[in-house]
Structure 1
Amino acid sequence: MSTNRRSFIKKSIIGAGLLTGANLLGNEAYAYGESFKSSKISLNDGDVILFQGDSITDVGRDRDNRKANDTNALGRGYALLAASELLNKYAAKNLKIYNTGISGNRVPDLQKRWAEDTLAIKPTVLSILIGVNDFWRTIDRGAKTTVEEYKSQYQQLLQETLQKLPNVKLIIGEPFAVKGVGHITDAWYPKFLAYQESAREIAKEFNAILLPYQKIFDNAQKTAPGAYWAADGVHPTLAGAQMMAAAWMDCIK
């Protein structure tokens, strides 16, 4: 790829910036530095919004249903809750919203199905939440995925995406875990923190809006115990899913 082409691709993402969720983040600016400017996504008529990821995004969706804006196709989690608000709030914009998250997925799994489950849909807004399984499988199933592999594979995925969809608006969800709840033991730390840091670095590198879910779940425990938001420490309860959806909506102008 030529230098000019690479420069064009990186500059063509709209929505570079940070999240300043007043309720969930306590008005804190979550950023990487002064040069990382605050911005939110402006939706256009006919936008195609895709939620992509693992079980936290999947949540029992009908994987044979490829329809846009269909309850069964959107699952029962934050993607459905965010989609319902989007469709209600922006009824005149003719949005098309999809969910292709699959339970248990890691970045290598996304790579294998990316052409069909992402690029073929041609999203104009792409929201990705991936990473908890990339680490978790090293704990419970002996997977050998390193944090370096997680980061490089994620980078390759986004580079391919920008080559095919240079104007896509990216939202990167930080993988999260509620420490001391369910599966989340001391064995996760400090190694899991490096996967989270990699997701944050990727968001910065690709000028994506970052959803700092770890900070959001940490702050939520000031009002209710961790299990109230994620019963097993990873998968959100109904309250946790609504909190995630609200944070996601805070990315939209």
Structure 2
Amino acid sequence: MSSILFLGDSVTDCSRKRAARYQGLPESLGDGWVSKVGSVLQARPQEYQLFNRGYAGCQTHELMSQLDWWPEQLETADIVSVMIGVNDVWMPFWRGLSHNIDRSLQSFDELVRRLSERAKQVVICEPVALPCGEVTQQWWSYMDELAKGQRALAAQHGASFLPLQDALMSTARGKLFDYMSDGVHPTYLGHHWISKQWLSFVSAQDLIES
């Protein structure tokens, strides 16, 4: 049985059930893209054990301080997938604070280093947004800096990097709100799109069976 741990913020969380009695059940995966990945993998011959550790509102430097961020029953994982960072851009705008992408990347460096010690493969998913709702033109320099830094750190630590932003912008052109309800949170269609990108990527990397 292969184990896959998904880490992130609200884009990963998606109202997942946290109580122990739900672990191993679909409810523990939430109702977003991780759940859709789970549904696809469940239909395949190989057995997979999936864990969702998304935390709504979480910034990069907060992730490893979250309760049960690494499942206690999981000594090591075959794959750890991480998508985090959009709140590092959003929260300072929302709170009227200065951005500190350097701190975000320092925290991300430590996170990926720790994960690399406990996972056979780490998959870094580029954080995404669309220019609608909460997202203004001011966001993009920070989003670009964050993504470039995450990509570099993925290479440094031997992790896989899944680029998403450019592909999403192209796919959602002219129908932004069909994919993101506020520029940050995916709709049903947005979650479906992310799940397809993730499954295609890890299959191409031979991390899971096609």
* TM-score greater than 0.5 by the shorter chain: yes
What do the CA deviations read for 1:89-130 (whole angstroms, capped 9, x no partner)?
2x3x2211110101000112112137x322633322100000
Query: Structure 1: which 5+ residue stretches go unaligned?
Result: 1-45
Work out whether residues 67 and 98 of structure 1, in 8 Å CA contact, stay in contact via their aligned partners in 2: no
- Pair 1:157 & 2:111 matched: yes
- For 2:21 and 2:125, how far apart are their aligned partners in 1? 23
Structure 1 residue matching 2:36: 3-state secondary structure = helix
- Pair 1:111 & 2:49 matched: no
Partner of 2:78: 124
Higher relative contact order (CA 8 A, sep 6+): 1
- For 1:81 and 1:226, how far apart are their aligned partners in 2? 21
Partner of 1:234: 184
Residue 190 (structure 1) aligned to one of 141, 147, 155 = 141
Structure 2 residue matching 1:168: 3-state secondary structure = strand
- For 2:65 and 2:181, how far apart are their aligned partners in 1? 30
The percentage of aligned residue pairs carrying the same residue is 25
Q: Please report how far the alpha carbon of residue 88 of structure 1 lies from its aligned counterpart in structure 2 after TM superposition.
A: 0.8
What do the CA deviations read for 1:51-84 (whole angstroms, capped 9, x no partner)?
1100000011112246544111100100000111
Work out whether residues 115 and 122 of structure 2, in 8 Å CA contact, stay in contact via their aligned partners in 1: no
Residue 244 (structure 1) aligned to one of 185, 191, 194 = 194
- Pair 1:50 & 2:5 matched: yes
Aligned residues: 201
Structure 1 residue matching 2:185: 3-state secondary structure = coil
Query: Structure 2: which 5+ residue stretches go unaligned?
Result: none
- For 1:246 and 1:189, how far apart are their aligned partners in 2? 25
Residue 16 (structure 2) aligned to one of 61, 68, 82 = 61
Q: Please report how far the alpha carbon of residue 142 of structure 1 lies from its aligned counterpart in structure 2 after TM superposition.
A: 3.5
Partner of 1:219: 170
Q: Please report how far the alpha carbon of residue 187 of structure 1 lies from its aligned counterpart in structure 2 after TM superposition.
A: 2.3
Partner of 2:96: 142
Q: Please report how far the alpha carbon of residue 205 of structure 1 lies from its aligned counterpart in structure 2 after TM superposition.
A: 1.6
Q: Please report how far the alpha carbon of residue 145 of structure 1 lies from its aligned counterpart in structure 2 after TM superposition.
A: 5.0
Q: Please report how far the alpha carbon of residue 183 of structure 1 lies from its aligned counterpart in structure 2 after TM superposition.
A: 0.4
* CA-atom RMSD in angstroms: 1.8
- The structure carrying a bigger strand percent of its residues is 2
Bigger CA radius of gyration: 1
Residue 168 (structure 1) aligned to one of 109, 112, 120 = 120
Q: Which amino acid aligns with 2:187?
A: T
Residues 197/188 of structure 1: CA separation in 2 closer, same or farther (3 Å cut): same
- TM-score, length-scaled by structure 2: 0.88
Residues 118/145 of structure 1: CA separation in 2 closer, same or farther (3 Å cut): farther
